[in-house]
Amino acid sequence: MSTDDLVTTKLRDRYLDALIRRDPDTTISVIEDAIRQGLSPVSILVSIIGKSQIRVGEMWHTGDINIAQEHLATQMTLDVMDQMRQRYHATTKWGIKAVVTCVEGNFHYVGSRMIADLLLVDGWDVEFLGADTPTHDLVEFVRQGHPELVALSVSMKEDLSTVEQIITQLRRLPDAPRILLGGYGVTDSDQVEGLGPDGFAIDAYSAIQEARRLGGLSKDPLSLNEYLIVMGSRVQDLRKRRSWNQEQLAQASSLDRTYISAVENGKQNLTIGVVLKLAEALEVPIGQLLSD
């Protein structure tokens, strides 16, 4: 593990520990330490805050914490993210507007808030609508505001019919925006293709990449290390959507659990054969792991 990776891991462990101990002052202190050590806002949001919040959700699911503790941890994270928004300002303003929202019925908005914040840092003008936005009101809001991009978050497969209605109605607008779809309710490209969005994001990294593509913004190619982090994040996300632990994915893909851990942490360079094994085990097209 490199020095940078070790620093990030230690900060993430401290942040998660503060969430579980119900210690908001320490969560802020951890982020201040991360900033002093030169971590980018993307790294802080995704690798420290985002992964810690995912772990909180897992702990609630397994009964290690109750729903009240999960709610407090989520609110503490939202408070930290509020402070980060006040600190960071985009160095470049693109003059492109994005509306980010959860679809009607989706009350889990931390992930979409994170996407909105990453877009703000990237130089977008962002209007974040939060959780459970009624379809009619969303379409009217977009009609009046003329955003170039609408990013929709869906947490349950049962909400996909609502997504289809939103996309259909947005397409009818005279100045229709590009539409980006993501969240735990969408898991494969075939499913997404039938709904008709312009882009699909499986994680925070790919959401920003897709937003830039849909907005017509240039982006330098990812470095190998960045690409491995993106791929590892996708593997981890797909595994958790199946409610598997690392050992279960290792068995399904005929790989070692420590190898899976290295992949998910962006520490393992992959052969095409390994990527194929992972894609088959996760039942996704290999392109879903490889595409940038």
- Per-residue confidence band for 219, with pLDDT thresholds at 50, 70 and 90: low
The answer, yes or no, to whether residue 222 has pLDDT greater than 70, is no
Region 257-276 average pLDDT: 84
Residue 155 CA, distance from chain mean position: 12
CATH 1.10.260.40 positions along the chain are: 224-290
CATH assignment of 224-290? 1.10.260.40
The pTM score is 0.71
Which pLDDT tens digit goes with each residue over 148-202?
999 999 888 778 889 899 999 999 998 899 999 988 777 666 667 778 888 888 7
Residue of higher predicted confidence among 46 and 66: 66
Residue 61's pLDDT is 87
Structure tokens at 3: 């020095």
Residue 216's pLDDT is 82
Q: Which helix (H) or strand (E) holds 242?
A: none
Query: Token pair 């939060």 is at which residue?
Result: 130
Residue 33's pLDDT is 93
Region 12-23 average pLDDT: 95
Task: Give, in words, the CATH class of 97-214.
Answer: alpha beta
Cα atoms in the 13 Å half-sphere on the side-chain side of 241:
22
Structure tokens at 57: 């959700």
185 pairs with which residues across the strands?
Answer: none
Cα–Cα distances (Å) from 259 to 6, 9, 253, in that order, read: 18, 18, 11
Region 213-242 average pLDDT: 75
Helix, strand, or coil (residue 219): coil
Task: Give, in words, the CATH class of 3-87.
Answer: mainly alpha
CATH 1.10.1240.10 positions along the chain are: 3-87
35-39, 47-51, 160-164, 190-194: least confidently modelled range: 190-194
Nearest CA-CA partner of 183 in 213, 160, 216: 160
CATH 3.40.50.280 positions along the chain are: 97-214
Report angle CA 26, 30, 32 to the nearest 5 degrees.
Answer: 115
b/e string for 198-229 if b means 16 or more Cβ within 10 A? bbbbbbbbbbbbbbbbbbeeeeeeeeeeebbb
Cα separation, 113 vs 128, in Å, equals 7
Region 56-74 average pLDDT: 92
pLDDT exceeding 70 applies to what percent of the chain?
Answer: 92
